[in-house]
Chain A
Amino acid sequence: TQLLEQSPQFLSIQEGENLTVYCNSSSVFSSLQWYRQEPGEGPVLLVTVVTGGEVKKLKRLTFQFGDARKDSSLHITAAQPGDTGLYLCAGASGNEKLTFGTGTRLTIIP
């Protein structure tokens, strides 16, 4: 069974601070996605990374796929209250289903 572990599980920081969320696995993935989920809603795709070592930027968010395609990180610069939510990583490994991580619940305090 493929497992994706995210850390930290919970994170509460002040507005304006920087943070990094980690997604780790012992399995290799063809691609990895990051989603954000608000209460009462489904996950919304933020980014897909495919190549080992790939870095993608989405405004204040920077996503990196590990060289071995087993891990990923999400870095947020100057966090804002609107960044609050549940962040999920999800890996795909040649078949169509996604294996989701355990999630990081992020709270940005104004």
Chain B
Amino acid sequence: GAGVSQTPSNKVTEKGKYVELRCDPISGHTALYWYRQSLGQGPEFLIYFQGTGAADDSGLPNDRFFAVRPEGSVSTLKIQRTERGDSAVYLCASSPYRTSYEQFFGPGTRLTVL
């Protein structure tokens, strides 16, 4: 079956611009997670959705970052006034269970802020 998909695969933008990153989870998965992975490091948690609501957004670094999941499926991570430090790979993962720790990751979106 289809896995988690993320678009675009690569995004290059200029400092100060707004970007949107999209995640299509595995069909039927209720939980959706966003992580950020900087070069040479492990992924860092950003936000977790259970259904349509953000159950935990404690990992969002500041108020320039926002994520939505309006229909409980596709999610969009939005970054305003991008900074060079936002450059990283943004990973999305989904899980079929409410409290499952087993997450299935997409290939990521590589964001480069010039």
Contacts and interface: CB of A to CB of B under 8 A. Distances in A.
Given A42-B4, A42-B106, A98 B101 contact: yes
Contact of A88 (B43, B55, B58, B102): B43
Determine the interface band of chain B, counting residues with CB < 8 A from chain A: 20 to 34
Given A42-B93, A42-B106, A33 B42 contact: no
A56 to B, nearest CB: 13
A96 B48 contact: yes
B54 to A, nearest CB: 12
Interface in A87-103: 88, 90, 92, 95-103
Given A45-B104, A48-B102, A103-B41, A97 B59 contact: yes
Interface in B53-81: 55-56, 58-59
A33 B101 contact: yes
A23 to B, nearest CB: 10
Secondary structure dominating the interface of A: loop
Contacts of A31: 101
A81 interface: no
A48 B101 contact: yes
A90 B59 CA distance: 16
Interface in B23-62: 31, 33, 35, 40-45, 48, 50, 55-56, 58-59
Query: Closest 5 interchain pairs by CB?
Result: A42-B105, A100-B42, A92-B101, A97-B45, A100-B43
